[in-house]
Amino acid sequence: MTSKTLTVLFSLFLALHCTAQPKDITSALYETYETYKEGKLDHRRVKHSEILELLVAYRSNPKFTVKKVGTSIEGRDLNLISIGSGSVNVFLWSQMHGNEPTATQAIFDIFKFLDSDSFKKEKEAILENLTLHFLPMLNPDGAEVYQRRNTLGIDINRDALRLQSPEGQTLKRVRDSLEADFGFNLHDQSTYYNAELTEKPATISYLAPPYNYEKDINESRGNAMKIIVFMNNIIQNYAPGQVGRYNDDFESRAFGDNIQKWGTSTILIESGGYANDVEKQEIRKLNYVSILSAIYTIANRSYLEIPIEDYEKIPHNDRKLFDLKIKAVIYPLLGNDYVLDLGINRLEVDYEEHNNFYYSSRIIDQGDLSTYYGYQTLDATGYKIRAGAVYPDTLDSVEELAKINVTSLLKLGYAYIRLNKIPKSLLESVKPIHLISKGHEVPELRLKVGINPTFFLEKEGAIRYAVINGFLIDLENGEGKFGNAMIFR
């Protein structure tokens, strides 16, 4: 056997060994996740005060360094949490958009993992080779009211050049002070993104941001692409076909593009949708697993063996998903019958305290939607739209509603109940029927984009399905997950 052959075989063994290690840790991380999940952050509308409470313990923990590095416009502290002693600096920041909290939760799961006594070999490799720096909740003012923009009303992720916001100034200052080798730019995206040409949601989407208009690939950006390929392979084990890749047009104002330009290998991660995961807790778990695995591959440098060409094989993001798609329903209009597809989304409306929400659904599109998909799809061929009627009896109060069998009313075609008294504090109907005030007149049903989707589907005069506030209810077998109906005053 020649020396050249031995060299090739050794290189192959090394590559296989390096790729096997992260795969093993990935499986173990996924299987043991509940041990490290930060239970105090179990909802999306996380507040700054909640993460401050959690940081109290880490301030006194010798493994971690917690340092105030800035303040928001409204004076909320921005903290950098660091751990490790390695020469390679990895910088992770989350929630520069206030209503994108999934990765913030995952970061605190990662803290619990790093503080634990298990995975000693893996953590030793990570913390001896790397120093990890986390800046969770970069936009705490936006998080307080669950909105994308900061108090100044700007998108922090478009403030990398002008640096008008104190939050953006902090991000730039921290990145520069660390001279970070790797950066993880952590976001949430709309749940209505899908992997291109498929009905599957883009549960996780990636981008190695470009650093110029030509979209050149240097070593730094190339390393980010390799790590994304590695992370994609991990997600495919748990959400197959549910990964997308963002368009890589250069955005000169964006932090991701500029941080890539400034020499940090930058990985954008966007948490999208996952069926029946309203609070995005499964996606949070996938963030935890894939980010920790990526950190491990950076520590042992196994990502260097990954072919960069595989990055282009990840399908692009598309935005062709609805919460509910109704196919080929018959819509009677002005004496004629027409066949339509309907695309319906259940939009969230925050309570005043921004700690929870109710749904106010809308028809988003109608017509030929054959190139679109739904988290839930109903083939309504042969079914005809029927408008919902108002129940003839007026109830005195909400309490009387508890005595009524709402399902029986739906089967008769009633979608609305009139009440003499509707408390001002009541924002939604927990029963699958709309509540209307004494003076409210229900308009004639005309299907169009923007209206609340409430109607029935009948065949040969018999009602089979109710659509109440965009929620589909099978009146024959009672199937259908219901959120809330509306109150019209």
Last residue of a domain, one of 282, 301, 318: 318
Q: Are residues 277 and 347 in the same domain?
A: no
- For the cut 70, the answer to whether the pLDDT of residue 20 exceeds it is no
Asked, for residue 8, whether it belongs to a domain, the answer is no
**pLDDT-based confidence at 478, cuts 50/70/90?**
confident
Asked, for residue 484, whether it belongs to a domain, the answer is yes
Q: Are residues 311 and 335 in the same domain?
A: no
Average pLDDT over the chain reads: 94
Q: Are residues 198 and 310 in the same domain?
A: yes
Bridge partners of residue 363, in order along the sequence: 344
Mean pLDDT (whole number) for 164-177: 98
Asked, for residue 9, whether it belongs to a domain, the answer is no
Euclidean distance between CA atoms 465 and 118, whole angstroms:
52
**Radius of gyration, CA atoms only, the chain:** 26
Angle at 315 between CA 313 and CA 316, to 5 degrees: 125
What single-letter DSSP state applies at residue 408? H
Mean pLDDT (whole number) for 202-207: 98
Last residue of a domain, one of 303, 318, 333: 318
Asked, for residue 2, whether it belongs to a domain, the answer is no
**pLDDT-based confidence at 22, cuts 50/70/90?**
very low
The separation between CA 338 and the C-alpha centre of its own chain, rounded to angstroms, equals 36
Q: Are residues 291 and 380 in the same domain?
A: no
Asked, for residue 22, whether it belongs to a domain, the answer is yes
Write the burial class of residue 28 (CB in 10 Å: 0-12 exposed, 13-18 middle, 19+ buried): middle
List CB contacts of 150: < 8 A, sequence separation 6 or more: 72, 73, 98, 139, 141, 142, 156, 165, 167
Euclidean distance between CA atoms 283 and 292, whole angstroms:
14
List CB contacts of 295: < 8 A, sequence separation 6 or more: 90, 126, 130, 132
pTM over 0.85: yes
Mean pLDDT (whole number) for 26-37: 97
Q: Are residues 177 and 98 in the same domain?
A: yes
Please name which of 134, 288, 305 lies closest in space to residue 222, comparing C-alpha atoms.
Answer: 305
Note the pLDDT tens digit of each residue in 53-102: 999 999 999 999 999 999 999 999 999 999 999 999 999 999 999 999 99
Q: How many domains does the chain have?
A: 2
Provide the residue range defining the domain that includes 332. 321-488
Euclidean distance between CA atoms 412 and 283, whole angstroms:
40
User: Which amino acid is residue 373, in one-letter code?
Assistant: Y
**DSSP letter for each residue of 265-302:** EEEEEEE---TT-TT-HHHHHHHHHHHHHHHHHHHHTG
Q: β-strands 336-350, 321-333: how paired?
A: antiparallel
Higher local confidence (pLDDT), 103 or 1: 103
Asked, for residue 5, whether it belongs to a domain, the answer is no
Last residue of a domain, one of 294, 318, 342: 318
Name the percent of the chain lying above pLDDT 70.
Answer: 95
Note the pLDDT tens digit of each residue in 276-307: 999 999 999 999 999 999 999 999 999 999 99
Note the pLDDT tens digit of each residue in 240-252: 999 999 999 999 9
φ, ψ dihedrals at 23, nearest 5°: -60, -40
Mean pLDDT (whole number) for 434-440: 95
Q: Are residues 361 and 467 in the same domain?
A: yes
pLDDT of residue 15: 40
Q: Are residues 227 and 370 in the same domain?
A: no
Burial 430-452, CB ≥16 within 10 A → b, else e: ebbbbbbeeebebeebebeeeeb
Q: Are residues 287 and 336 in the same domain?
A: no
Mean pLDDT (whole number) for 14-39: 75
Q: Are residues 409 and 338 in the same domain?
A: yes
pLDDT of residue 48: 98
**pLDDT-based confidence at 7, cuts 50/70/90?**
very low
Mean pLDDT (whole number) for 100-107: 98
List CB contacts of 34: < 8 A, sequence separation 6 or more: none
Q: Which two tokens stand for residue 451?
A: 């209206």
Asked, for residue 193, whether it belongs to a domain, the answer is yes
- For the cut 60, the answer to whether the pLDDT of residue 12 exceeds it is no
Mean pLDDT is lowest, of 17-31, 139-153, 458-472, for: 17-31
Please name which of 386, 371, 180, 360 lies closest in space to residue 265, comparing C-alpha atoms.
Answer: 180
pLDDT of residue 14: 38
Q: Are residues 395 and 288 in the same domain?
A: no
Euclidean distance between CA atoms 405 and 408, whole angstroms:
6
Q: Are residues 291 and 361 in the same domain?
A: no
Asked, for residue 4, whether it belongs to a domain, the answer is no
Euclidean distance between CA atoms 133 and 311, whole angstroms:
26
pLDDT of residue 8: 38
Task: Tell me the CATH number at 48.
Answer: 3.40.630.10
Cβ atoms of 260 and 217 closer than 8 Å: no
pLDDT of residue 488: 97
Cβ atoms of 197 and 156 closer than 8 Å: no
Q: State the distance between the two ends of the chain, measured CA to CA, in whole angstroms.
A: 86
Q: Which two tokens stand for residue 155?
A: 């998108």
Note the pLDDT tens digit of each residue in 347-385: 999 999 999 999 999 999 999 999 999 999 999 999 999
Strand (E) or helix (H) holding 418: strand 414-419
Note the pLDDT tens digit of each residue in 382-413: 999 999 999 999 999 999 998 999 999 999 99
The separation between CA 298 and the C-alpha centre of its own chain, rounded to angstroms, equals 25
Mean pLDDT is lowest, of 17-31, 39-53, 171-185, for: 17-31
Mean pLDDT is lowest, of 8-12, 161-165, 358-362, 463-467, for: 8-12
List CB contacts of 101: < 8 A, sequence separation 6 or more: 44, 45, 46, 94, 95, 137, 143, 188
pLDDT of residue 479: 82
Q: Are residues 158 and 169 in the same domain?
A: yes
